[in-house]
Structure 1
């Protein structure tokens, strides 16, 4: 680390604070602090942009939210750099950002480690050690956690942290009482009980300390005070622990006396040889500052009392586990004067059988100067002699490349001064049960560390000459040390190559593993060793996952790939996680855990898929695709209350069990949201592979998400890819469906001319294909454009024709929708009575659908409210609109919410409640800013300007009238432009 480089200290256990040495780092405003806080709450994990937006703006983000998040991230990075930290602390990682601590510190992580150590010491009955660790942990708190940072998510986390602090205080106090430190604990306990009078455990501890300090009367009074609090606040009596303590005090039971301190005899040392077996050190280890600090906890004072300090380093092949273990071993060798033992147990060597503990014991005993003739033959006797020799010595034991607990357990010394460091690719659950005092889950290097490693191999001059290419090279190597060393070695051996040249070679996924598997070190061979160790079904799942071209997935995909039950799929996918072949992304919005590949491991899995026949691979993909189609179609059905407002292709869906389907689709729109990127990727893959029927059907199924959540880019991309596929296949029906989808998008964007042209072509193709239902869906949308253009007779003809078909095929949602449109046409014609009849019929049809009819029920109720507005029945209109707003909020339908708030504001204006109307319309502008609908935004601003004028605020009125005129001008709606100009002209002082 350069002399000017600073280590950052992130502190959230109190007001948010970042320090570079003794200097505080300026963090900017509220948004910057909230975004940094959310990243700090999940260090080392990707936080999506959507999560950051929700944390900053809760449910009301502006249209520019994503841009503002990006600006805040850039400002934070700049602040860290200006503070003297060149590291890339906040890295971009799809679908958001990741805070990588590296060599920097975070007080919550320090707190968790100290508490974990204290808890372990308690379990090992090392109470003095536990007390020191708890005390150090509690000293990290500087006040209320995250003070000064707002937002629902942050406040919830602050509450969780505060509860954690209180629990830790009580655990620490319990240890102090066991150590007889009751008198000095009294002030802290009294303050705790005053602040939290309902915490029975803290009160129990205070009463105990008071009694042991000779203050029996105060102890009884403290009990009675607690009883009064519980009765008055909660209406309950004290729990059994407090009640039993009260009785024990009344009877002066001997069990209440303070315990006597324990003493442990120390055995005399036994002279042995001093082995020095560590392999040569890595001269300059790249990065790994945080990981080395974690291993440093093995050396904490008194941490080895009661047994050897144990450490575990796990990670995927090529991640640098051995290098880290050896480097750390050399750095602390002076602290183990009695020697260092090292053994490679060959847990993943294709040429050698795994080394047994018995074999290692024999070699270790010889290293410890035991003559070969005196080494016992029985494994149990060897282990006993080994433990005896190390009982009172300080020896470091490094066990590398371990695969099972059986290889390790006999090699554990009994001496409290020894330290054992184990490396392995898998999680080794038996070892974790100890648990290890330091567990390093080794991940990829940071981009900065990866570039640093490449620079050491190829020279800083070549790195400086092509900085952009060197970063891309590191990313193509997945930031994996083995791959980086291989790539660096290739460049070093080819001085005439540019970095960009190697980047081009690695950019071809078909040959990337070939490029990184040349010479003695091979990425492919490294992966293969772990792959060969997978159980049969786990290996099969791994290679079949390689067939998928999706960014992430959940466990149901594993079950379908293997044609098995969900429980088996979950078990096998977790085996791949334990083997470091998959990364855990975290829970999605539907509450299901998602997994993903690192790129090189995905490419290796795709290669391994060749072990199965082409017919098997095709069958597996077909099964997954048809299941995706079933789930997407079922999510659509549950969103609409039936198979409404959609036509389907010829691909047969593959249903899951009703129980699993209900579990996955408990919230259908959330499931679609969670699977949005995989579904979009599947549409693209199907279209490219000529599976046109799957592509266009899947696009229609997912459209309900694109419409409701305003994913217009996904909407266009899926439709255009599917359109290309159906045209290439000569698929008339599919082409008509995709032209209709693209027309609906243009209508959403208020390009009515393009939309109507697409609808006309779609209608003609549907008629040619004999698809009456699809044609009726097109007619419904054409009627909506006719109505907005003022061509009311044409609108009614198209609506009437569509209504007949919807009733014939039983599409009740579309029937309700077209009745709603017809009601608007009658309103435009001034026939309020007929409009009311049609609106009420639309509401009746929607209500009969049930829960899935919420979308059409909201539309029909909104139209009925418009009828009430036309009749000047403002209270009835407001009542109806409040129902609409409740429905669309539950659906997260932003556009529907904007429409509902607009109409509610108009109802309140009609009733003369101008200030209330202005507040409602201001909220409507915030919502409308989230959707690209100039007509809605303009209408809201026009109404808000009127309300502001009535509230004697001409400046706000002028701003909104001008904004409305600009919005209407974007889409060329002359009638609304005329209204905005008139409103501006009528303002005082207008020219």
Structure 2
């Protein structure tokens, strides 16, 4: 179809680097082909995601359907180029060759003139960066088969109240599309030669087209710039947003500045707080409210505004994902600096620390180390139940790890030690061993107090033990024992000796294991702590013959049952070992009853590792009773759990049992 060049055509040229939005554009073209009357298509998405470029692509694809003119206006939501509805209408009327002296002064008169002039025509009206539904309504053409293309500067959801609207949400580029865009910018050969560095740049740019275009332009404009050097420069998060800016037309800073200025006062306050450190890329309403000393409802309203503006992504339970470029831009804003930002950071840290203290008191009330090593950490009433405490810890897991990393940056060995002690019960129960290793390695670089170091080595030793990294585990426990003896702490020596004894048992060195576990029990008795004694009896029983082991286990179980605290998980561990010892005696029926009780408790508590331990023992009981099919099923269930937790040592042991039973189809 021939295009009449005498009609107005204000649409910018196509962006030849546009990629990855074919499905979105096809949805837009479906509107073009199938709509009756004026149709409105609104592009939304996070700043810098390519709304304008994609909308321009749709305009060009649909050009032949609208031969009577294409109008374009950049509104105040665009790249800081102001425009008013009255001025835009004047420009539109002039495009249709209205004489300047005939154009009315009043906005309502200009709007009426424009709608009369455009009624019945097949037009495109492109409104870039619209900030309100009323703004769009003012600039709509007269009734007819026209297409109105809009990119959001602010959310325009109310536009659909009295207009047929199709909203097209754009997401950051997928990996393949981001690579394709970068290849167009700097060349396929350079991308292929430095693919790892390209992938790193894409990640640092948040998969945003605007950021990738800036980096591509910087590389091509400079003789010295390489992909590797740009990846290194962008790795400095303090300067990343600044470096992703060449000029106002190609600037991440300008894009985010424009989005920020369109926010309400409370939303701006919350946006700035997204730059507070520590941060993990996700934050909840209570944390922000605590940092800003604002009511939860006000923070919720503000974060809803940020989500509507696509500056954050809403999750469940009033939590939000914050992209790194948003956080970096927020951190560098000058609206809130100095003492005020320091106070907000301090309150944020206090929120996480008190939450962790309260969780420790709730899920490990009888564990002595917080009270003995850090008596200043007083628990409050932050969590109603152990389940609520665990839910909070899971939700804040990434932020809690970020807090530890932040304490390491600040060289605060006191905080590092506290955090490792507070988080160990959570990491132990959930088997988040990557987090445990990462946080404890940071702490052991800084912490000098021998008492605390002894406990940290013990905690790391148990993590290696669960993974059956027995040599590493033994080294950690030996260091812990030496430090405990150095400071004369029977409690710490008992704990470390117990761990070392379990390692020796796993290595098949039974006599050494029994000697260490007997020593652990003696030290526990010296402390007078009945819970500590019961734990020592539980572990010593693992090395004893069934009759003696069952005596120790029954006494330990009676202690756990009688304590004024929830010790159901330790009771279940005792049941598991009673079952194992009964298997040695050939009492498979009683053993299975005990093991099923243990399994039920561990499953209810979400103790996946301990579920697998009970299932493994059930497999042994079924095998001993000659029930091969049942044994295979139990072992297979255990194997799935071990592999899911990445516990390769226990998984290999279970595979060996399955092979011995003739199962060749195990997971």
Q: How far off is 1:539 after superposition?
A: 2.4
Q: 2:279 is matched with which residue?
A: 550
Q: 1:299 is matched with which residue?
A: 32
Q: 1:309 is matched with which residue?
A: 39
Q: How far off is 1:763 after superposition?
A: 4.3
Distance, in Å, in 1 between the alignment partners of 2:515 and 2:216 is 73
Q: How far off is 1:882 after superposition?
A: 0.6
Distance, in Å, in 2 between the alignment partners of 1:819 and 1:920 is 28
Q: Check whether the contact 1:392–1:416 (CA below 8 A) recurs between aligned residues.
A: yes
Q: How far off is 1:885 after superposition?
A: 0.8
Q: 1:290 aligns with which of 23, 31, 38?
A: 23
Q: Cα distance 1:542–1:885, how it changes in 2: closer, same or farther (>3 A)?
A: same
Distance, in Å, in 1 between the alignment partners of 2:648 and 2:202 is 44
**CA displacement, residues 930-975 of structure 1 (integer Å, 9 cap, x when unaligned):** 56768756775776678x4xxxxxxx39x99xx9xxxxxxxxxxxx
Q: 1:799 aligns with which of 516, 521, 540?
A: 521
Q: Cα distance 1:297–1:572, how it changes in 2: closer, same or farther (>3 A)?
A: same
Q: Cα distance 1:777–1:634, how it changes in 2: closer, same or farther (>3 A)?
A: farther
Distance, in Å, in 1 between the alignment partners of 2:338 and 2:225 is 38
Query: Structure 1: 5+ residue runs without aligned partners?
Result: 1-272, 949-955, 964-991
Structure 2 counterpart SS, 1:849: coil
Distance, in Å, in 2 between the alignment partners of 1:487 and 1:394 is 40
Q: Cα distance 1:685–1:836, how it changes in 2: closer, same or farther (>3 A)?
A: closer
Q: 1:540 is matched with which residue?
A: 269
Q: Cα distance 1:656–1:412, how it changes in 2: closer, same or farther (>3 A)?
A: farther
Distance, in Å, in 1 between the alignment partners of 2:472 and 2:179 is 50
Q: Cα distance 1:297–1:595, how it changes in 2: closer, same or farther (>3 A)?
A: same
Q: 1:884 aligns with which of 598, 610, 620?
A: 598
Q: 1:523 is matched with which residue?
A: 252
Q: How far off is 1:310 after superposition?
A: 0.7
Q: Cα distance 1:631–1:774, how it changes in 2: closer, same or farther (>3 A)?
A: farther
Q: Check whether the contact 1:684–1:722 (CA below 8 A) recurs between aligned residues.
A: no
Q: 1:441 is matched with which residue?
A: 169
Q: How far off is 1:655 after superposition?
A: 7.8
Q: How far off is 1:545 after superposition?
A: 2.0
Q: 2:576 aligns with which of 862, 866, 879?
A: 862
Q: 2:561 is matched with which residue?
A: 844
Distance, in Å, in 2 between the alignment partners of 1:902 and 1:795 is 24
Distance, in Å, in 2 between the alignment partners of 1:621 and 1:879 is 53
Distance, in Å, in 1 between the alignment partners of 2:155 and 2:547 is 73
Q: Check whether the contact 2:588–2:624 (CA below 8 A) recurs between aligned residues.
A: yes
Structure 2 counterpart SS, 1:342: strand
Q: 1:690 aligns with which of 405, 408, 411?
A: 411
Q: 1:205 is matched with which residue?
A: none
Q: Cα distance 1:437–1:942, how it changes in 2: closer, same or farther (>3 A)?
A: closer
Q: Cα distance 1:656–1:544, how it changes in 2: closer, same or farther (>3 A)?
A: farther
Q: 1:618 aligns with which of 321, 332, 342?
A: 342
Q: How far off is 1:692 after superposition?
A: 1.8
Q: Check whether the contact 1:638–1:668 (CA below 8 A) recurs between aligned residues.
A: yes
Structure 1 counterpart SS, 2:246: coil
Normalising by structure 2, report the TM-score: 0.85
Q: 2:422 is matched with which residue?
A: 701
Distance, in Å, in 2 between the alignment partners of 1:633 and 1:333 is 63
Q: Check whether the contact 1:316–1:425 (CA below 8 A) recurs between aligned residues.
A: no
Q: Cα distance 1:416–1:474, how it changes in 2: closer, same or farther (>3 A)?
A: same
1:373-392 alignment runs, 5 A limit: 374-392=102-120
Q: Check whether the contact 1:636–1:643 (CA below 8 A) recurs between aligned residues.
A: no
Q: Check whether the contact 1:318–1:481 (CA below 8 A) recurs between aligned residues.
A: yes
**CA displacement, residues 216-258 of structure 1 (integer Å, 9 cap, x when unaligned):** xxxxxxxxxxxxxxxxxxxxxxxxxxxxxxxxxxxxxxxxxxx
Distance, in Å, in 2 between the alignment partners of 1:508 and 1:636 is 36
Q: How far off is 1:452 after superposition?
A: 4.1
Query: Structure 2: 5+ residue runs without aligned partners?
Result: none
Q: Cα distance 1:481–1:550, how it changes in 2: closer, same or farther (>3 A)?
A: same
**CA displacement, residues 591-628 of structure 1 (integer Å, 9 cap, x when unaligned):** 6644121x3333222212x5434433333223222322
Q: 2:218 is matched with which residue?
A: 490
Question: Is 1:502–2:230 an aligned residue pair?
Answer: yes
Q: Check whether the contact 1:297–1:437 (CA below 8 A) recurs between aligned residues.
A: no
Structure 1 counterpart SS, 2:297: helix
Distance, in Å, in 1 between the alignment partners of 2:194 and 2:634 is 55
Question: Is 1:679–2:400 an aligned residue pair?
Answer: yes
Structure 1 counterpart SS, 2:36: coil
Distance, in Å, in 2 between the alignment partners of 1:465 and 1:793 is 60
Structure 2 counterpart SS, 1:736: helix
Q: 1:567 aligns with which of 276, 290, 297?
A: 297
Structure 2 counterpart SS, 1:903: helix
Q: Check whether the contact 1:823–1:839 (CA below 8 A) recurs between aligned residues.
A: no
Distance, in Å, in 2 between the alignment partners of 1:326 and 1:914 is 67
Question: Is 1:393–2:117 an aligned residue pair?
Answer: no
Q: 1:512 aligns with which of 240, 256, 259?
A: 240
Distance, in Å, in 1 between the alignment partners of 2:145 and 2:466 is 72
Q: How far off is 1:889 after superposition?
A: 2.0
Q: 1:735 is matched with which residue?
A: 453
Q: How far off is 1:344 after superposition?
A: 1.9
Distance, in Å, in 1 between the alignment partners of 2:139 and 2:206 is 35
Q: 1:579 is matched with which residue?
A: 309
1:814-963 alignment runs, 5 A limit: 814=532, 816-824=534-542, 827-828=544-545, 830-831=547-548, 834-835=551-552, 837-845=554-562, 848-850=564-566, 853-866=567-580, 868-869=582-583, 872-909=586-623, 911=625, 913=627, 915-929=629-643, 948=661, 956=662
Higher RCO (C-alpha 8 Å, min separation 6) = 2
Normalising by structure 1, report the TM-score: 0.59
Distance, in Å, in 2 between the alignment partners of 1:805 and 1:681 is 36
Structure 2 counterpart SS, 1:558: helix
Q: Cα distance 1:632–1:376, how it changes in 2: closer, same or farther (>3 A)?
A: same
Q: Check whether the contact 2:358–2:381 (CA below 8 A) recurs between aligned residues.
A: no
Q: Cα distance 1:748–1:485, how it changes in 2: closer, same or farther (>3 A)?
A: closer
Decide which structure has the larger Cα Rg and report it.
1
Structure 1 counterpart SS, 2:263: coil
Distance, in Å, in 1 between the alignment partners of 2:141 and 2:541 is 84
Question: Is 1:606–2:331 an aligned residue pair?
Answer: yes
Q: How far off is 1:399 after superposition?
A: 1.3
Distance, in Å, in 1 between the alignment partners of 2:179 and 2:212 is 9
Q: Cα distance 1:942–1:435, how it changes in 2: closer, same or farther (>3 A)?
A: same
Q: Check whether the contact 1:545–1:561 (CA below 8 A) recurs between aligned residues.
A: no
**CA displacement, residues 83-108 of structure 1 (integer Å, 9 cap, x when unaligned):** xxxxxxxxxxxxxxxxxxxxxxxxxx
Q: 2:8 aligns with which of 276, 301, 324?
A: 276
Q: 1:716 aligns with which of 425, 437, 440?
A: 437
Distance, in Å, in 1 between the alignment partners of 2:438 and 2:220 is 43
**CA displacement, residues 531-584 of structure 1 (integer Å, 9 cap, x when unaligned):** 233333322322332233433223233223212333333322232223332245
1:650-665 alignment runs, 5 A limit: 650=374, 658=382, 661-662=383-384
Q: How far off is 1:724 after superposition?
A: 0.7
Q: 2:356 is matched with which residue?
A: 632
Q: How far off is 1:633 after superposition?
A: 3.7
Q: Cα distance 1:363–1:705, how it changes in 2: closer, same or farther (>3 A)?
A: same
Q: How far off is 1:647 after superposition?
A: 2.7
Question: Is 1:347–2:68 an aligned residue pair?
Answer: no
Q: 1:777 is matched with which residue?
A: 495
1:10-409 alignment runs, 5 A limit: 276-282=8-14, 284-287=16-19, 288-301=21-34, 303-305=35-37, 308-347=38-77, 350=80, 354-372=82-100, 374-409=102-137
